[in-house]
């Protein structure tokens, strides 16, 4: 097969689109294959770190243009136990620890940037097969009900772990947490400010992220409780949320549309596929506690683009280039997986001894500003700070 481009990216979400922009800016010829139609809306909300916001700013996507809500303080506590800590942006000398944005607004902004770049974005392209040989990688897809194919020196799977992956040559390991994340927009009295809340409960963490005057709710519950909660009427739901949150700082007065999704720890590794690499959720899917999934994916994209910036076209998918990328990302990925998995296991139980240890840890962290700043920087910028 004759090479048609330098890099093919499967998946045009924020991670794939950001990677396409970064690679095209370094002179690479990029084809992006995205299943959704151009301009398709998405009502989800997304929490991103200050580090990810800086990367998006470099791509010409500003937080102000997205209508982002800044997170200046994160209040961390546990239900039914002592101990709490507050992590503040001013202690880490950044304007905000992170931002809450509309997923749809972000994809629209990145789509607009792609239209101004040299990257070729093909929307409505449903990939049916991918593969790689010693000399090239390829993707087969349908667009407008017509089959097509393209080949490249490197193929990047940024499909979020859906679509065509897993594949032969890709080993996938999954661990089911037995939990669902219930998400919705919730109105409170008083209204949301710039403080986010992470509340650990015996059944799983509950997060409230400021999104304008409301909060984006991420409520972790055992799998069997998710649908019954979604089916409750508004009054019953808010009453149970109030009991679960168990804090007097807010009164819940209204809830928007509710949805849920299963929570798993998923890690994919290439075992035999040639000239292919995985980024973002296609490579690793984390529990939403600490909000590291998207940010880890953005660092994947940035590091891969930097690794390939000076590579000749035929060397982009070489074993040596991809080995350098994996070595560069190893510490950050392992660290993020370990911390999120630890938080889920250590804080999602009602063991009185562990509750006392958690409380002591939170109280100690609250007394150590340098420790809070160190932890915040790791969450914002990854293991390498």
Report which DSSP code applies to 267: E
pLDDT of residue 140: 93
Higher pLDDT: 226 or 358? It is 226
pLDDT of residue 208: 94
Confirm if 329 and 278 have CB atoms less than 8 A apart: no
Could you tell me the CA-to-CA distances from 335 to 100, 197, 374, 378 in Å, in that order? 24, 23, 14, 10
Confirm if 279 and 302 have CB atoms less than 8 A apart: no
Confirm if 36 and 12 have CB atoms less than 8 A apart: yes
Task: Tokens 């800044």: give the residue.
Answer: 70
Which of 255, 180, 168, 176 shows the shortest CA–CA distance to 216?
Answer: 255
What residues have CB less than 8 Å from 314, skipping those under 6 apart?
3, 153
pLDDT of residue 255: 94
For 335, counting Cβ atoms within 10 Å of its Cβ (0-12 exposed, 13-18 middle, 19+ buried), the class is: middle
H-helix or E-strand spanning residue 107? helix 103-115
Query: What's the longest Cα–Cα distance across the chain?
Result: 65
pLDDT of residue 166: 57
Q: What is the mean pLDDT of residues 155-176?
A: 79
Beta strands in the chain (DSSP E): 5-10, 30-34, 45-49, 69-71, 73-78, 84-88, 98-102, 120-123, 126-132, 137-143, 146-157, 170-189, 195-201, 204-211, 214-222, 251-255, 259-270, 276-278, 284-285
Confirm if 208 and 69 have CB atoms less than 8 A apart: no
Residues 5-29: tens digit of each pLDDT? 999 999 999 999 999 999 999 999 9
Residues 359-370: tens digit of each pLDDT? 888 888 888 888
pLDDT of residue 260: 93
Residues 180-190: tens digit of each pLDDT? 999 999 999 98
Residues 73-95: tens digit of each pLDDT? 999 988 877 788 999 999 989 99
Give the CATH architecture of domain 5-41+104-173+267-347.
3-Layer(bba) Sandwich (3.50)
Higher pLDDT: 380 or 169? It is 380
Exposure on the CB side of residue 214, measured as CA atoms within 13 A: 12
Neighbour tally for 327: CB within 10 Å: 10
pLDDT of residue 148: 93
Exposure on the CB side of residue 302, measured as CA atoms within 13 A: 18
pLDDT of residue 305: 97
Q: What is the mean pLDDT of residues 151-167?
A: 81
Domain coordinates in residue numbering, the chain: 5-41+104-173+267-347
Q: Which of 100-104, 121-125, 159-163, 323-327 has the lowest mean pLDDT?
A: 159-163
Q: Which of 46-60, 94-108, 136-150, 350-364 has the lowest mean pLDDT?
A: 350-364
Task: Tokens 């296991």: give the residue.
Answer: 345
Q: What is the mean pLDDT of residues 272-301?
A: 91
Predicted structure pTM score: 0.93
């Amino acid at each position: 097969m004759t090479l048609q481009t330098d890099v093919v990216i499967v998946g045009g979400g924020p991670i794939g689109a950001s990677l396409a922009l970064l690679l095209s800016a370094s002179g690479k010829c990029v084809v992006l294959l995205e299943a959704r139609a151009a301009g398709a809306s998405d009502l989800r909300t997304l929490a991103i770190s200050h580090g990810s916001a800086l990367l998006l700013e470099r791509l010409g996507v500003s937080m102000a243009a997205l209508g982002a809500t800044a997170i200046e303080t994160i209040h961390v506590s546990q239900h039914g136990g002592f101990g709490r800590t507050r992590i503040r942006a001013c202690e880490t000398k950044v304007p905000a620890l992170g931002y809450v944005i509309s997923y749809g607004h972000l994809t629209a902004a990145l789509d607009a940037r792609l239209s101004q770049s040299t990257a070729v974005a093909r929307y409505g392209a449903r990939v049916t097969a991918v593969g790689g040989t010693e000399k090239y990688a390829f993707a087969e897809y349908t667009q407008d009900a017509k089959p097509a194919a393209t080949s490249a020196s490197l193929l990047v799977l940024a499909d979020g772990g859906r679509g065509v992956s897993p594949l032969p040559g890709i080993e996938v390991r999954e661990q089911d947490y037995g939990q669902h994340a219930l998400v919705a927009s919730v109105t409170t009295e008083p209204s949301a400010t710039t403080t986010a809340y992470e509340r650990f409960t015996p059944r799983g963490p509950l997060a409230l992220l400021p999104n304008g005057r409301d909060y984006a709710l991420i409520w972790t519950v055992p799998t069997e409780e998710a649908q019954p909660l979604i089916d409750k009427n508004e009054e019953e739901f808010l009453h149970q949320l109030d009991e679960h949150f168990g804090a007097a700082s807010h009164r819940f007065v209204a809830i928007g549309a509710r949805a849920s999704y299963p929570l798993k720890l998923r890690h994919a590794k290439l075992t035999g596929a040639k000239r292919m690499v995985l980024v973002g959720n296609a490579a690793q899917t984390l529990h939403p506690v600490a909000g590291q999934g998207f940010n880890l994916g953005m660092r994947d994209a940035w590091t891969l683009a930097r690794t390939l910036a000076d590579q000749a076209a035929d060397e982009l998918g070489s074993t040596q280039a991809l080995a350098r990328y994996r070595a560069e990302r190893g510490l950050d990925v392992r660290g993020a997986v370990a911390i999120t998995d630890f938080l889920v296991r250590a804080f999602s139980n009602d063991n009185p001894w562990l509750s006392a240890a958690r409380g002591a840890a939170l109280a100690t962290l609250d007394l150590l500003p340098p420790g809070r700043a160190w932890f915040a920087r790791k969450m914002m910028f990854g293991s390498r700070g």
